[in-house]
Amino acid sequence: MSVSVICNDVFKKVIDDYHLLDFIDAKKSNPYSDSLSLEKIIYDKCWIDTIQWHLEDIIRKPNINPEEALKIKRRIDSSNQDRTDMVEELDDYFFDKFSNSKPSNDAILNTETPAWAIDRLSILSLKIFHMNEEANRESASVEHRKKCSEKLELLLTQRKNLSKAIDQLLNNISNGSVIISTYKQMKMYNDESLNPELYSKDD
């Protein structure tokens, strides 16, 4: 089974699991939590994405209480850091997996790591789920549902293409035609030692 098939299957399970409760404080129950598998990592990763998707919806409510909005914004900031950490953990998984691969003399670099491509695939899964909801929302107009159905078809095509690209990238890393590399995010604004607004003694 290809990595993209595993990812898409796990992402669907995560999103379905979340929507059984549809609650941003729902407790995660990772069925792969007893293993050090790819499935465990990407389940945790997609769970973060799914919670954040709904936080992003909530914070855009026009009548949201400012104090609540600030709490949600802080939670989104924290979630973004968790998301980055999970992507880098996933890249570590691939570095270990391909540690014995020997790049050929004419091997090339890729602009994106495998994990960041899989991150995009996770977000695509969420877009597809929610666009499908809109395409079938009975309270919406016929025109709205038609437009959402067209967007859904485009998203499905994008997922098919991205899935293929991920499998090709991993295959090329395995056969030595692409050098596996990392691009650490080095986010500074969440680090108390790097963000002047956090380490400054001024009020």
d(CA 49, CA 190): 18
**Do the domain assignments include residue 178?**
yes
**Do the domain assignments include residue 199?**
no
The helix (H) or strand (E) run that includes residue 129 is helix 114-135
Question: What residues form DSSP beta bridges with 108?
Answer: 178
Residue 190: is its pLDDT beyond 70? Answer: no
**Do the domain assignments include residue 83?**
yes
Question: What residues form DSSP beta bridges with 14?
Answer: none
Return the structure tokens found at 69.
């909005």
d(CA 141, CA 4): 35
**Do the domain assignments include residue 158?**
yes
- pLDDT classification of 34: cutoffs 50, 70, 90: confident
**What does the pLDDT look like over 117-158, one tens digit per residue?**
999 999 999 999 999 999 999 999 999 999 999 999 999 999
Question: Residue 77's closest CA among 174, 201, 197, 157?
Answer: 197
**Do the domain assignments include residue 177?**
yes
Question: Residue 114's closest CA among 160, 43, 179?
Answer: 179
- Which residue segment(s) compose the domain that 120 sits in? 3-194
**Do the domain assignments include residue 200?**
no
Count up the domains in the chain and report the number.
1
**Do the domain assignments include residue 202?**
no
SS3 109: strand
Confidence at residue 181, expressed as pLDDT on a 0 to 100 scale: 83
Confidence at residue 58, expressed as pLDDT on a 0 to 100 scale: 97
**Do the domain assignments include residue 203?**
no
Cβ pair 97, 107 in contact under 8 A: no
Amino acid at 97: K
